[in-house]
Chains A and B, each alone.
Chain A
Amino acid sequence: MELIVEFGFPELPASVVAQAEQEVADLLAAAVRDAFLTDGDLEVERFSTPRRLAVRLSPLRAAQPDREVEARGPSVAAALRDGAPTKAAEGFARSQGVDVAQLERRETPQGEYLFARRRVMGQAADEVLRSLIPQVLSQMHFPRTMRWADGAPRLPRPLAWALGILDKEALGFSIGPVRAGAETFGHRVFSPGPHAIDGAKAYEAVLRSAEVEPVRAARRRLVEEGALAAAQAEGLAAEIPEGLLDEVTDLCEWPRAFLGRFDEAYLELPQEVLTATMIHHQRFFPVRRPDGALAARFAAVRNGGREDVVRRGNETVLAARLADALFFYREDRGSSLRSRREALGGIAYAPGLGTLYERSTRLGRLAGELAELAGRGELRATLEEAGALALCDRATALVRELPELEGTMAEAYARLDGEQEEICRAVGERVLPRGPEGELPKTWAGLFLALADRLDLLAGFLASGRAPTGSQDPFGLRRAAIAALRLWERVPELPLEGATGAAIAGYEDLLGEDAERARALLPDFLAARLQARAEDEGRDPRQMQAVLAVGVARPGEVFARLRALEEVAAAEEFTRLVHAARRAKNLAQAGDAAGAVGAEAELLQAVEAAEAEGDRMLASGDYAGQLRRAGALYAPLDRFFTEVMVMSEDHAERARRQAILHRAHLVLSRVAEIAALSAE
């Protein structure tokens, strides 16, 4: 049998459609499998538009098979007294619908228990599906949901209709006030419907005749090919950023592309301003000439309306935005970027943290010190210069109007002013990465300036007592820490203490002794972000804890250490090493190891060899190598624990043995504290 299920909505957020399409299909397929409605291979077809999520499954059984189910009841101790069944046993038998005499005794790892076995008659598929489909909606995850009807699951938008058809029969389940039927709805304006679906197979054909393309990949292709073809018709090339393509796909049900134009005069604007306006504000695809320069055209997609009317309207809206931008741009070009630095003195950075002028001085100096600490001191002069220019676009009209162009405009204006190319790049890259997955700087100067930007922010706000609490992070400190850590991975040799110290030094004049507060807070703050990121990525939180237990002397190394630990910990013999490391840690005490004999001497020798060799490996960044080298301590440790009594009555002997274990513990805690992985 074949099943089609569709949930209809008023427009879902474009950002949730693709993921929701996948999730609803996964959940429904899993529910059908768990309900014994499939014999094995299940073909799952997914559909979605902004107004619907749908799944088609086949082949389905007409009914569940009859099957035997088993339930565990009370323990024999509780169920039988002097061989006679207690109330517990009788109650259990009753709940399972079997006779007490039919209960079986069976041994389990927890002791002897009573079991009931009974045959369950399979139910018809339509009956099972009626109760199973509504549950699927309640299990879905959406970033933001709303209450829309009593007794109905929270959803991103109210459920407008539902459809469920098994072969040709409507299933008729209910979700809140919505009763499922065998009808769908077409394009809101051109072909609203309702349209009857005559059998699961007919689904997409009915929708296509109602001017809806329900296959997301096909709709995405229509958008992309449509935009390309529209530009091609004039010998031009549409630029198709992936993110925009996805968004436009999920903003329409029946996409038709067209080419619009704007006045050539706006080409005077830097191309970043043009593309940002088109992409972010209007969801237009920029169009380029064969030589790569922007053309005074855009490719757009409409979901309805008449092409000439829609084109004219979109052209008007874009023209208004570009007129604004050009006005501000011309005003900005009246004076150089550099000349705006004085104006930064009138813009507060944050209360108690001075002005943007002061911050720009701090950034240049801090970026230079970071470069120095990372062995690139030759960049110092460039970075001081870049720091002085980096925030000047905050005093421009265009950035005041289009704040997302901060950094981009600093770079563009600096270049127009004829500043050195290295400096132009650096002030543009200062704002990178723009999000958790955003692009990182490509130049060294840009990298140090971007890192200085985040560390200055973290130091200033932590020192002035504005750490985030709970879900509240009004100053974006967590975001800044995540960006800082990603930047740091590009300069893993940069030490935390030196970098933090330099960032704090920038605030000494402003905050006096308070600046020191950041020194204690920053390492923990970064460690918490590292831990959160590891968990977000689905890594074992205990392994990250073990890595962090060694300290974050070089934050840029932490993930490399974690990956090394994951690699080594995958080996089977690792568990026994953890156990030995744990014993060593518990008994360890720093002291003099001189005078070792027998198994002690063997362990000490192994430790010394591992120290020397491991250090060389660490110096070259071979964390997995050091972990494996430390792992070789297992055999001598094992012999040591078998043959040597650590807590000897003889004080000297005991101190020596504890000292040897201490050194072993240190070797086992260079990349990560292996003992910390013990479950004990």
Chain B
Amino acid sequence: MTLQDLILALHRFWADEGCYIGQPYDIEKGAGTMNPLTFFRALGPEPWRVGYVEPSRRPADARYGENPNRLYQHHQYQVILKPCPADVQDVYLRSLTAIGLDAKEHDVRFVEDNWENPSTGSWGLGWEVWIDGMEVTQFTYFQQMGGIELTVLTAEITYGLERIAAYVQGASNVFDVEVMPGLHYGDLFRRQEYEHSAYSFQHASIDYLRATFEGAEREAERSAGEGLYFAAYDSVLRMSHAFNVLEARGAIAPAQRTAYIGRIRERARAVAELYVADRERQGFPLEGKVRAWS
């Protein structure tokens, strides 16, 4: 199964489960959880089901395109099920069958792995899912997002697409993964991996990144002051990415780290609160709206 077919199969599967098939959000971020389709929609009582691919940038994991498994940018397939169905694990196992990983053939394990993102004030309990000893999915029951306790039990399922594709194809190096017949992952991304590694570790301007962080922080605060939470959240994402590059660049001392993260968290919390208040003012418009979600 090619990487592309894998994505199409997941789209089909989750669309049939009543998910809106969303799109990646075009600001750099460390994980699909930070896409507004998850960050905002997990908040409040409204139901929600979504599936989308998110290119996730982790500057510290960059390896110049030389490591067979580690990448600056990897692709997550992100699913949100709110409220979480009681048989969510069985649904997930069926999705594995849909991409050629039958649980009758393979050993599937749910190994405790709790999730926390201190820079958005979010956490949850869950598992990393292993197939034959390889971690392929992160499964989380969200408990808090943007510093706000969640009232509806919500499940997040995040597939690591490169890993699954490599496993299904028997490729030992991610760059050998076939994206579509004849086209390989390396053809698309090797040079990009090299450049982003060199940039993140050696060439990024620390002054520029600091100024970006601080500018975005002011902008997040200002837009939130105007009640523009989607706009403010874009600035929060910019703060977060600038921080990640600064850290990879070695420009953040361990003792400063907590303070930086605290500043991002404070802005994230402000937009989360605005969102919840506004949805309430609107009478939670998605409640009872989509038949597949009730």
Contacts and interface: CB of A to CB of B under 8 A. Distances in A.
Contacts of A348: 253-254
Contacts of A350: 253-255
A11 B110 contact: yes
Interface stretch (A35-43, A298-306, A508-516): A298-306
Contacts of A324: 67-69
Interface centre among B67, B124, B132 (most CB of A within 10 A): B132
B98 interface: no
B107 A310 contact: yes
A614 B152 CA distance: 67
Interface string A313-325: 1101111100110
A282 B104 CA distance: 21
A279 interface: no
Candidate in B67, B86, B124, B149 with the most chain A CB atoms within 10 angstroms? B86
A160 B253 CA distance: 45
Contacts of A305: 103-108, 132
A341 B254 CA distance: 22
A157 interface: yes
Contacts of A310: 106-107, 132
A210 to B, nearest CB: 15
B172 A309 contact: no
Contacts of A320: 68-69, 172
A309 B112 contact: no
A359 to B, nearest CB: 14
B111 interface: yes
What interface size band does chain A fall in? Answer: 35 or more
A156 B172 contact: no
A15 B253 CA distance: 34
A147 B153 contact: yes
A303 B107 contact: yes
Interface in A232-257: 251-252
B134 interface: yes
A302 B109 CA distance: 9
Contact of A148 (B106, B107, B141): B141
B127 A314 contact: no
B114 interface: yes
Contact of A319 (B110, B172, B256): B172
A147 B149 CA distance: 10
Contacts of B76: none
B206 to A, nearest CB: 15
Contact of B255 (A12, A144, A188, A351): A351
A465 to B, nearest CB: 10
Given A15-B112, A146-B125, A304-B107, A160 B69 contact: no
Interface in A382-411: none
A87 interface: no
Interface string B48-73: 00000000000000000001110000
A368 interface: no
A323 B149 CA distance: 43
B4 interface: no
Contact of A189 (B69, B86, B88, B104): B104
B86 to A, nearest CB: 7
A300 B107 CA distance: 12
Contact of B108 (A189, A314, A323): A189
A474 B254 CA distance: 9
A324 B66 CA distance: 11
Interface string B68-96: 11000000000000001010111001000
Contacts of A15: 112
Secondary structure dominating the interface of A? loop
Contact of B133 (A149, A160, A318, A323): A318
A309 B106 contact: yes
B31 interface: no
Given A10-B89, A11-B127, A148-B153, A317 B255 contact: no
Contacts of B170: 316
B126 to A, nearest CB: 9
A466 interface: yes
A317 B111 contact: no
B106 A10 contact: no
Contacts of A146: 124-125, 141, 143
B131 interface: yes
Nearest to A313: B132
A352 B104 CA distance: 56
Nearest to A11: B110
B258 interface: yes
Contacts of B132: 305, 309-310, 312-314, 316-317
Given A158-B153, A309-B132, A320-B69, A144 B103 contact: no
A147 B111 contact: no
A316 B143 contact: no
Contact of B143 (A50, A147, A156, A251): A147
A13 interface: yes
Interface string A462-499: 00001000000011000000000000000000000000
A80 interface: no
B61 to A, nearest CB: 11
Nearest to A247: B111
Contacts of B84: 158
B293 interface: no
Interface in A140-189: 144, 146-149, 156-158, 160, 188-189
A14 interface: yes
Contacts of A351: 253-256
B122 to A, nearest CB: 14
B14 to A, nearest CB: 20
Contacts of B89: 10, 188
B68 A306 contact: no
A15 B133 CA distance: 18
A144 B114 contact: yes
B125 A156 contact: yes
Nearest to B149: A147
Residue of A11, A188, A319 ringed by the most chain B CB atoms within 10 A: A11
Nearest to A320: B172
Given A144-B125, A305-B105, A348-B253, A251 B111 contact: yes
Interface in B95-154: 103-112, 114, 124-125, 127, 131-134, 141, 143, 149, 153
B93 to A, nearest CB: 8
Given A13-B112, A324-B68, A324-B69, A474 B258 contact: yes
Contacts of A12: 112
B167 interface: yes
B53 to A, nearest CB: 24
A619 B258 CA distance: 48
Nearest to A461: B255
A348 B167 CA distance: 38
Contacts of B149: 147
Contacts of B67: 324
Contacts of B111: 11, 14, 251
A191 B107 CA distance: 15
Interface in A260-297: 282-283
B167 A316 contact: yes
Contact of B131 (A11, A283, A313, A466): A313
B232 to A, nearest CB: 27
A230 to B, nearest CB: 15
Contacts of A283: 133
Given A11-B110, A316-B170, 8 more contacts: A12-B112, A146-B125, A146-B141, A283-B133, A320-B172, A348-B254, A350-B254, A352-B255
Interface of B: 67-69, 84, 86, 88-90, 93, 103-112, 114, 124-125, 127, 131-134, 141, 143, 149, 153, 167, 170, 172, 253-256, 258
17 contacts: A10-B88, A10-B89, A10-B110, A144-B125, A158-B86, A300-B133, A304-B104, A304-B108, A305-B108, A313-B131, A313-B132, A314-B133, A319-B172, A320-B172, A324-B67, A350-B253, A466-B255
9 A-B pairs with least C-beta separation: A313-B132, A13-B112, A351-B253, A11-B110, A305-B107, A314-B133, A302-B107, A310-B107, A317-B133
